Structures are given as C-alpha cells and as structure tokens.
Amino acid sequence: MTILIFLIALASGMIVGMPISFALLLAAVALMFQQDMFDSQIIAQNLINGTTSFTLMAVPFFLLAGEVMNTGGLSKRIVRVALALVGHCKGGLGYVAIVASVLLASLSGSAVADAAALATLLVPMMTAAGHSRGQSCGLVGAGAIIGPIIPPSIPFILFGVCGGVSISKLFLAGIVPGILMGIGLAFAWWLVSRNDEVKVFEKQSPADVFATLREGIWALFLPVIIIVGLKFGIFTPTEAAVVAAVYSLFVAIVIYRELKFNQIFEVMVAATKSTGVVMFLVASALAAAWMITIADLPGQMVELLKPLMGNQTVLMLAMIAILFAVSSVMDLSPIILILTPVLLPVARQAGINEIYFGVIFVVCGSISLITPPVGTVLNVVAGSTKSNLGLVIKGVLPYILSHTIVLLLLILFPALVMVPLRWFTGG
C-alpha cells in the first residue's frame, strides 16, 4: 500500500506537468500523511541537508569543466584526433564519432554535453560524406551515453551519494563497461554502414597524425590525470572535479587560447544554471529518500522480490526490467535519486556487490537517454542538428540493441566489471 501511495503521488505530479523535483516533494508529503507525521519543517530540513554533502561539490566543478571543454576547443581537438586515427577507414566518420565519444566521456561525464558537442561537429560531416541523417544522429546519440559510464561520471556521483557507495570505485569500475559499449557500437556501425556508398577520407601521413596528437595531447591528458589520481589515492572524486575544472580552464585560456576572458562569465553562468537544476533535484530526491526509509519502502520491495533472492542473475534481470519501465518516462538523474534508496538495499540483501550493482544501474539508466518517449539525448541531437525526431529515433534503434546486448553480458558475466575493478583498486 505504501509503495502504491508513493507511485500514485509521484505519477500524479508528473502528469499535471510538475517538474520532477516538485513531484518528488509531493510524493514525500503523501508518505508523511500516510504515516500520520506531516511536518513542513522536516521537509525543509531534509531539503537543506540534501545539498550539504561534500561529495556533491564535484557536480558543479565537472559541469564547469564540460562547459569549458566545449567552449575552449578541447572537444574539437578530440574529434580531430579521432579523425586522424580512423577517419580514412570506410565509414570512418562513424568510427570517429565512436572514438570521440569514448574520449569525451573521459572528460565531461555528461551525455547531454557530449551529444551537443559531437552532433554539431560530426553530423554535418557524416551527411556530407553520404551517410543518412538518421543513421548519423542515432550513432552520435548512442555514443554520447557512454559519457555517464566512463569516469568522471555525474550519475555515479549521484548514485554514490544516495547509496553511500564509494564513488572512486564506481568511477574505476565504469572504465571497462564503457569501452565495451564503444566496441559494441563499432560492430553495430560496421553492420549498418557496410554497404553505404560514401566518401572515404585520405589517410593522413604519420607526420600529420603526430601533429594532430601533439595538438590534442593537452585534452587527452586530462583523463589520465583523473584515473591515475583516483587509482593511487592522490585525490578524492570531489578534488578530481576541481582539478578537471582548473586544468580545462588553463588549457582553454593559456594553451589553446580559444576561451577569452570576456567569455568566462558566460561559461560560469551556464554551469551555474545546470548546477542549480541538478542540486535542487538532488535535494528534493534526498528529502523523498528520507521518507522512503521511514516508510520502509525498501523492506516492502525486498518482500516483493523475495521469491527471486535465491538467484542473483534472475533478480538483477527483474530489477533491470523495473528500471527500464521507469526510465521510459523519466530522465537518468531522477531515476538514480528515486530508485537507488529502494533497489540498492534489495541488491545488498541478495549479496550482490554494491559497486557492480551501481554500474549495471547506471548503464541501464543511460540507455534510457536514447529510448523514446523521453530520450533526452535524442532530443538534444535532433535539436542541435535541426533533424526530425522520428528520423533520429529510427536511426538509433540498432545501437540501442547493441547497448542492450552489452548490458546483458555484464549481467551474465559479472567478472567483466569485478575483475578490472580489483585490478584498478589492487583489491
């Protein structure tokens, strides 16, 4: 009954057009009335407490780093590096999009930022070379969702804060799954585009490739700093975010000189707006999570899934089915903030490693970014390239299948996540 009240209140708020943040607060209030403990001060207190986590300071700094990278020329140079390496292959621009997606994922941690940057740069080039607009937009969108998987990752930060899970370990555990998603996309692109009659770019000389790599080395060095710093405990994820922001500002202003001093205020404002949206959503979700705990929704969910507790694989598939159902009508951040307090206790009770569960959770939620009807990344790609949304949805379908196959492999073979994690952490 408690679960039903929570879901009805949340869905009602969304149906009447409330922002997710306010719909979550409405659901929290509904639970308070159901528990006969309504007190507006509790809501206010939990809203304030929801934003006081030191770890959450990583969010604005990573968002700032992403804005600086797009404005200051780092993203553009990543694309040039990918073009120099694989642009000469048949269908090479598709492989450029995939390589650039993986590299950008290790810089920004945001699927939306990566989608906007790559769609603007690559889709016109791909269509000019002879690829269909739908295929091109679909591939760029599917590549962009690798952003939340490879560190740094804002969704992993949100999952770690909500679930009390090590964010450093989540970051390191996401590296191999993100690379596997890229490999899956490359195979899917080969199948889709192998019969296309398209322009093939001339292979660059070793000297030209070296020159492009030398120019892009400053951008490529950032993920190395973050991963090495996390692996050897040099800094925390929050400190890594500060390093990323300061480093990207230095490179954009001093090295590449594409970010002018009079643009810094604009970049700061854009990052602040994004931060405000995310942080209020986090505050609302953690206020709702407090009521979820008080009302013992996790315990009730455990009871519902108890028949599946004996088989971890079947239980994971059941929880993934729940995630896919919810994600069809909701964006990734609210999914993490709403369902982590509900499903993570179930996973822990079943003996599923919390880091592994977090990776599967975020991979599944990321796929929802390119699935209709919400499909946030699809809307970004369509808007950035002025393309018909229906065409983009049709173009992305093979890549949704590719990502889903990778997700199933991660569920069936947990070692794909856990073995690399143990190597990275030395555990």
Residue spans per domain, the chain: 53-425
Predicted local confidence at residue 29, as pLDDT: 80
What are 334's two structure tokens?
């609210």
pLDDT string in tens for the chain (427-residue length): 566 777 777 777 767 777 777 887 887 788 787 777 777 777 777 677 766 666 777 778 888 887 888 788 787 888 888 878 877 777 778 888 888 888 877 776 678 777 877 887 788 888 887 888 888 899 999 998 998 898 888 889 889 988 889 888 998 899 999 999 999 999 999 988 877 766 666 777 888 888 888 888 888 888 888 878 877 778 788 888 888 888 889 988 988 888 888 888 988 898 888 788 777 777 777 777 777 777 766 667 767 777 887 788 888 998 888 888 777 667 787 788 878 888 888 888 888 999 999 999 999 989 988 887 667 788 788 887 888 888 888 889 999 999 999 999 999 999 999 998 888 776 5
Q: Please give the single-letter amino acid code of residue 308.
A: L
Predicted local confidence at residue 186, as pLDDT: 92
Q: Is the pTM of this model over 0.85?
A: no
Q: Please give the single-letter amino acid code of residue 66.
A: G
CA torsion 106→414→361→248, rounded to 10°? -10
Report how far apart, in Å, the C-alpha atoms of 272 and of each of 55, 266, 309 are: 17, 10, 43
How far is Cα 412 from Cα 406, in angstroms, rounded to an integer? 10
Predicted local confidence at residue 374, as pLDDT: 65
Predicted local confidence at residue 50, as pLDDT: 62
How far is Cα 97 from Cα 77, in angstroms, rounded to an integer? 13
Task: Identify the CA nearest to 336 among candidates 313, 360, 368, 365.
Answer: 365
Predicted local confidence at residue 357, as pLDDT: 95
